[in-house]
Amino acid sequence: MYDRTGEHVLYEIHGEENRKIIPHEKIPDTARVATIAAEDDGFYSHYGIDPLAVLRAIFTNLKNNDAQQGGSTITQQLARNAFLTREKTFRRKFL
């Protein structure tokens, strides 16, 4: 994972998974654009949290009584993966 300046911000090992670092310049533009479009289409217009996406996800999930939609940004996903465990609890999600 790279930040907006191209600096490497994630690590090679995540739990038991080996990750291979690919230099920023070797990642095709289409892969970067597709990732941002799929994961966080407002990536360049918010400061790490997209309140409307969070509210939309909460509303949709409550309405359907199911976790069908996520509202986290790429920045939030990076923080979660870098600093938290994979434990899935209400406390971890909301506190």
Q: What is the pLDDT of residues 20-62, one digit of tens each?
A: 778 888 889 999 899 999 989 889 998 899 989 889 888 888 8
- Token couple for 28: 């095709």
pLDDT at 78 > cutoff 60: yes
* pLDDT of the residue at 31: 92
| Structural domains of the chain in order of their starting residue, each with its CATH number | 13-94 (1.10.3810.10)
**Of 32, 92, 94, 45, the residue nearest 73 (C-alpha):** 45
Question: Quick one: pLDDT band at residue 67, thresholds 50, 70, 90?
Answer: confident
Give CA–CA dist 37/52, Å, rounded.
Answer: 16
pTM for the whole structure: 0.63
Query: For residue 18, how many C-alpha atoms fall within 13 Å in the half-sphere facing its CB?
Result: 1
Give the span between the Cα atoms of 79 and 64, in whole angstroms. Answer: 28
Are 85 and 17 within 8 A, CB to CB? Answer: no
What tokens does 36 get? 């941002």
